[in-house]
Amino acid sequence: MNAQDMIELNNKKRELLTSENEAAYGDMLVYLRISNVPEQQMEELLLEILDHLIEAQTENKSAYDIFGSDLQSYCDELISALPSQTKLEKTSSIGFVVSLLLAIQFGIDAIVSFFISTFGNTAEQLTPVFSIPGTTFSVSLIILGILLILYLLKRYSFNQKINWKRRILFGFAFATPFCASVFLHVYFI
């Protein structure tokens, strides 16, 4: 069974969890998927955890009864027992993310050029919308934004209390890189 099949099976089995176990499993899932473990081993581990939870539910036990009160420490132990990603896996993941971000950036460039050609004056139409330094800078901003988002997700994945400050922080973490990228293209490139 490949990783994609395991993800689909995981999503189907998650529906069997109680709300308390689903919340705990969701935190574990985010924390483990952000870690530096190969995808295949990660999905096998997540399915095994899910099977334990479903079995324990029949005995009226929660995730905290099975894995202990500190789920983050439990996940850290699991991560340390699993192999890390190889350099090839890391490189292919980074290459995929960069190519995806370039595709997003080209989409933004196309939208901006459409609006400039439709609503702009003739002087603005003569300047090219795409530039290598601008696109590189924009993609770098988006990569930094994604790294910040992943850091925040990992840091707050087991903290059930979400206050207004944390919501604002997540909102800025999501909006700032993308808005900055569009702003750069509209006003400086």
pLDDT digits (tens, 9 = 90+) for 125-153: 555 556 777 777 777 887 888 888 888 87
Give me the DSSP letters along 13-67. HHTTS-HHHHHHHHHHHHHHHHSSS-HHHHHHHHHHHHHHHHHHHTTT--HHHHH
Taking 70 as the pLDDT cut, the residues of the chain under it are 120-130, 160-162, 185-189
- Domains in the chain (CATH in brackets) are 3-81 (1.10.1900), 87-187 (no CATH)
Q: Any idea which residue has 């609006």 for tokens?
A: 115
Closest CA relative to residue 8, chosen from 38, 36, 50, 37: 50
- pLDDT on residue 95: 82
- pLDDT on residue 153: 78
CA distance linking residue 145 with residue 137, whole number of Å: 12
Residues 6 or more apart in contact with residue 124 via CB below 8 angstroms: 116
Q: How many helices (H) and strands (E) does the chain have?
A: 9, 0
Residues 6 or more apart in contact with residue 26 via CB below 8 angstroms: none
- pLDDT on residue 123: 53
- pLDDT on residue 138: 77
pTM: 0.67
